[in-house]
Structure formats: structure tokens, C-alpha cells
Structure 1
């Protein structure tokens, strides 16, 4: 066999192995109650339901009967700033700030039990499971990096998002209805950002990741607000002219109403 033919045979075997991929003993099937949420001016929040099942096959170990499940929901990414205030001469002023780059505007982690009981710390960090392990890139001077979980700015950022219901971690939110059938709710607060949401579902057994899958849903705004937002994006010049005209008309009407004789 020539060297060229041997190389071609090796490449074919490699491509064949890549096409087959690693065998998995479980398959994860999930569905979401609504893939498109419409937000109106009087929207006050809601909840989606994620449900699914873990399907075993002939390769599943016979003694595997208990599973753990972690669901991570990420909203549309955005740049945000966290500021630190100091009191100077009796006045609170901005003393320092930190910019977070393309971080999830909504972030939720749901599990059937505490994460530290599901997998080892290094596994949780590698899989980015939990608010302390999610990558939140910051601009630190001229560098871009994620810092330690107890960094003051990172902690303040997560705390503020949590207070608004936009970041959350719940360790008893996933309910197993049977050993393989599960469900969990995804709360959506009134301030929920508009855009596409990614849902990552991972199944663990004996501390190891055994299978995973993804799904998604979308939150859209309807009504007059959506019309204004779409016009601003698609025809900025017309939007600017109409806004300026409305401001002039408002000022003129105010001068007429409050004009003194």
C-alpha cells in the first residue's frame, strides 16, 4: 500500500468515527409550554413550564436508576455597567465602575437538589453551572476577563439582577414525577428583556454528565411600543423627525395653555 493510499484510508476512518460520534446510553427529550411569549403594555410577568423525559437504551447501565438535572436559561446578551458609590461631603457620588460585556440579561439556574450535591466543584466550573460558575466577562482596565466569584463588582452585579428577579438560582425547582419524567417552571418577571432565550438541560448520574440537550423560546413586544421600537430601528431618520416634531408641538401647546394675558 502506498503512503498516499494509507493516508487516504486513515482519513476515511477518522471521518467515519467522527460521523458516528460517541455512543450515549440516554436520550433527553424536552418540550416547553410556549415557544413565543408576547409582552403587552400591561404585562405583569408569567411562567413557562419545561417538561421532558430521560429515555434509556440498551447501553444504559442496569444499576443506573437515579438522575440529577440542571436547567440553565440565558436571556439575550447585553453590555451592562455596575457602579460603586461613595459618600463625599454628604453627597453620594459614583466612585468607580465596572463594565460587563455581553452577559445574559436574564439568567436562571434550576436543579432538583443543591448543585454541590450533584457534581464536584471542578465539574460545575467546567460546565458553568450555577451563578458563581457562569462566565461573566468584564472590562478590567485594558483587559477582558472573568474574575473570582467573590469579586465586589461581580457580587454586586449578581445581587442587583437577583433583586429584580432577572438572575436566580433554585436548587429544588426541578421535580421528578417519575425516575425519568421531570418538569420545572421558568418564572418571567415583568421586567423580562425582549429577545431570544436559550435553555440548556443537562442530566447527571453519579456526579458525571451523561446527556444534554437544548431548546429555546422567544419574548416579543406587541402593541404601540413595538411599533415605535421597530420604526426606530428600521427608519431612524423618520423616527428622529417625528420625535422632534412632537417635542415642538408639546412645547407650543404648553406655551398656549400657560400663557398669561
Structure 2
């Protein structure tokens, strides 16, 4: 037992030394929260807007010349596989001539900032931190390979445009407001057709063109009431759900024939 004592003291010394390293101590940290961590979807749901708010907590090691910050908030919904198709008009009709599959991409994606990305970071840092829709990783199946492509790729730009038209992809560079030099807020709009599931929120703090720190939070969107009952039935009892659907269709058709029957 005594022989192990020097090693115990050595381990304690290493831990203490690591805690004193400059890279371990952070000059700032983010404290954030959202106004609602559980959004419920009912039959009359028409969309909602959450509010993310927080503060930058400084300490004695914060550089005195660091008086202003930049903030980027990225909200991503459940990941799914989606397909974008290219159509051409042939013989008077529109037909699909090519397609591209997007793998495990966010079904909802929003990027908010307090000012344009070019004003807060160099292009290399924007790409590395995935600041903005142009740099968010959207993996695709390109022939036998899996990769992302440049933002100007026709399939990628069409995919982002179509999702944006439904309010499911968005980018706003004046959406984050600093109420004081360290207090901030932004709104997260959720459209009526927002997907059900868990949502991740990543907040990046930058200063003088460099990343200072980052943190994250989350919220979820769930169905309640009759819609939740139907969704659970379809998932847990698919056979009974299918039979019930057929019976309801038959009953609806019979009732319509009785109501609109001509004597």
C-alpha cells in the first residue's frame, strides 16, 4: 500500500498542473436558454416562435480590449434522407431526368447571427465552423461516393431553395440582438409544417475574427391529443391501424351515398 503513495501524489500533481494550463481556463462562457423546451402540436397548430436568450459571462482572464462579440445560432431538426429531382419538358410533359439523394440532413435548419458572416470571420473560419447555409455540411450520394459539394451546385442550391420556400431552411444575419454588450436574444420561428422530433441549438461566440467559446441547448416538438393517438397507433399497431382506416373509408363512402342518394 505504501509503495503506491508516490504514484498517487504524482497523479494529483498532474491533474493540478493540467488545471492550470492556459488553454484549459476559458475567459468567457455562454449561459443560454429557450422560452419553451417542449412544443406541442395539436390539430389546430399553425406555427410558433421560440425565444432564445442568454448572456456572455466574463471573468478576470478576459482580455480588456475584448469589448464586442459576434454570435451565431444554428438550429437543426431531426435528420432524414431526402431526394432532389431535376425535371425537363419532353414531348409536352415534365419528366424526372436526374436526382440527387441527401443523406441524414437536417429536416429543419436555421442559422441566425448579429451581422453578416463575412464581417465576423474569414472564409476559412466560416467553412471550418459551418457558419451559414453555404457552409453547413449537407452530405449527398454522388455516384458511388458520399460527399458535400460547393454551394453553387445545382442540386444543392435547389434543395436549399425548396426547403427555404417552406420555411424549413433559413438564414438571417440580423436576427440576433445584443441588448447590452453581454446580453442577447433571438427568435426561432417554427412553421406549421415543422417536423416532429428533437432539435439541437448550437451557439458560437466569436470576437476579433476568432472563436471564443460555444455551447448548446435543445428543445423538442411533440404531437398531443388525437394526432398523437393516430401516430402511435400507426407505429405500434400497423395492421389494426390499416384495418381501421379501411373501415372508416368504407363507412364514409356508404354515409355519403345515403346522404346524396337521389330518390
1:153 corresponds in structure 2 to 155
Question: d(CA) in 1 for partners of 2:247 and 2:47?
Answer: 35
Question: d(CA) in 2 for partners of 1:216 and 1:18?
Answer: 29
Q: What SS does the corresponding residue of 1:155 show, helix, strand or coil?
A: helix
Question: d(CA) in 2 for partners of 1:154 and 1:229?
Answer: 32
Answering whether residue 219 of structure 2 is matched by residue 217 of structure 1, we say yes
Q: What SS does the corresponding residue of 1:225 show, helix, strand or coil?
A: helix
User: Given the two structures, how large is their TM-score scaled by the length of structure 2?
Assistant: 0.89
Question: d(CA) in 1 for partners of 2:173 and 2:262?
Answer: 65
Deviation at 1:152, TM superposition (A): 0.3
2:18 corresponds in structure 1 to 17
* 1:182 corresponds to which of 181, 184, 187: 184
Question: d(CA) in 2 for partners of 1:137 and 1:86?
Answer: 25
Question: d(CA) in 1 for partners of 2:114 and 2:80?
Answer: 29
Deviation at 1:140, TM superposition (A): 1.3
Deviation at 1:134, TM superposition (A): 0.3
Question: d(CA) in 1 for partners of 2:14 and 2:189?
Answer: 48
Q: Name the CA shift for 1:14/1:152 in 2 (closer, same or farther; >3 Å).
A: farther
Question: d(CA) in 2 for partners of 1:70 and 1:209?
Answer: 10
Deviations, residues 99-146 of structure 1 (Å, cap 9, x unaligned):
111111111110000011111111111111100000001111221111
2:70 corresponds in structure 1 to 68
Q: Name the CA shift for 1:19/1:249 in 2 (closer, same or farther; >3 Å).
A: farther
Deviations, residues 191-211 of structure 1 (Å, cap 9, x unaligned):
111111100001000011101
Between Structure 1 and Structure 2, how many residues are aligned?
A: 256
User: Given the two structures, how large is their TM-score scaled by the length of structure 1?
Assistant: 0.90
Q: Name the CA shift for 1:180/1:250 in 2 (closer, same or farther; >3 Å).
A: same
Question: d(CA) in 2 for partners of 1:32 and 1:88?
Answer: 50
Deviates more, 1:239-248 or 1:219-228: 239-248
Deviations, residues 28-78 of structure 1 (Å, cap 9, x unaligned):
111111111111122122211111110100110011101000000001111
Deviations, residues 128-187 of structure 1 (Å, cap 9, x unaligned):
110000000111122111111111000000001111111111011010111111111111
Root-mean-square deviation over aligned CA pairs: 2.6
* 1:193 corresponds to which of 192, 195, 219: 195
Deviates more, 1:251-260 or 1:239-248: 251-260
Contact 2:19–2:25, Cα closer than 8 Å, also in 1? no
Q: Name the CA shift for 1:206/1:237 in 2 (closer, same or farther; >3 Å).
A: same
Deviation at 1:95, TM superposition (A): 1.1
Deviation at 1:232, TM superposition (A): 1.1
Deviates more, 1:240-249 or 1:74-83: 240-249
Task: In structure 2, list runs of 5 or more residues that go unmatched.
Answer: 1-5
Task: In structure 1, list runs of 5 or more residues that go unmatched.
Answer: none
Question: d(CA) in 2 for partners of 1:31 and 1:19?
Answer: 30
1:51 corresponds in structure 2 to 53
* 2:28 corresponds to which of 26, 29, 38: 26
